[in-house]
Amino acid sequence: MARQLRAEQTRATIITAAADLFDRHGYESTSLSDIVDHAQVTKGALYFHFAAKEDLAHAILELQANASRQVVSEMESRGYSSLEALMRATFGIARLSVEDPVPRAGLRLATADVPVRPPLRHPFTEWLEFAGRKLGGAVRESDLHPDTDVGAVAHSLVCFFVGTRVAGRSLEPVGRLPRRVAEMWHLMIRGLVPVHRRPRYLTLAAQLERETRPV
């Protein structure tokens, strides 16, 4: 049992070290030797758990997907309006990126040339489906204009959210991400939400930014 626990701890250490390097330097620029040095493990320990760098990337993508699904599931179970659930989910995923290098690296890997192996689905596909469901619900709940093109808005939202992190990676610290997500929502709310419903959601965006911002 102790040996199994040590093996699990070593695997977690390797994943965290790889995630940190993938996020800071990119997948292509990080070697297995870099990961061994950063994790302070032997090459044998790394190869015991991962046969190739691609296997490490896949493990990180899987962890990131599971963490994002947990956020989405929690928001869908709480009885929020569709638009509030969507807003809270984006800030929840942003919080993951701020607090943990693994989901942060998963987001970067999802934009790199790293194949997503079945049964894992590409995170952007899942986010598009979730955003589409919630935006469609928001139209039915009269929180969005009735002529909203749900598919186009869902695509723009996911690209906006991902692009905020990709562009910001080299321009500003990750702790700035909640502010950027709030700015994204301010723009979308003013363009999509009927005037009499905007104050509720603009206030919510400001509240979620404060709750997500690192202390």
- Are residues 190 and 198 in contact, defined by beta-carbon separation less than 8 angstroms? yes
pLDDT beyond 90 at 71:
yes
CA angle (103, 180, 156) in 5-degree steps: 80
Distance, in Å, from the CA atom of 197 to the CA atom of 111, rounded to the nearest integer, reads 35
Per-residue tokens: 128? 């598009």
pLDDT beyond 80 at 79:
yes
**Quick one: pLDDT at residue 198?**
98
Residues 109-145 pLDDT 10s: 988 878 888 888 888 899 999 999 999 999 999 999 9
Torsion angle in degrees (nearest 10) through CA of 17, 210, 205, 169 = -30
- pTM attached to this predicted model: 0.90
Read off the pLDDT band of 107 (50, 70, 90).
Answer: confident
Distance, in Å, from the CA atom of 32 to the CA atom of 105, rounded to the nearest integer, reads 16
Cβ neighbour number for residue 170 with a 10 Å cutoff: 6
Residues 14-29 pLDDT 10s: 999 999 999 989 899 9
Q: Which domains are present in the chain?
A: 60-212 (1.10.357.10)
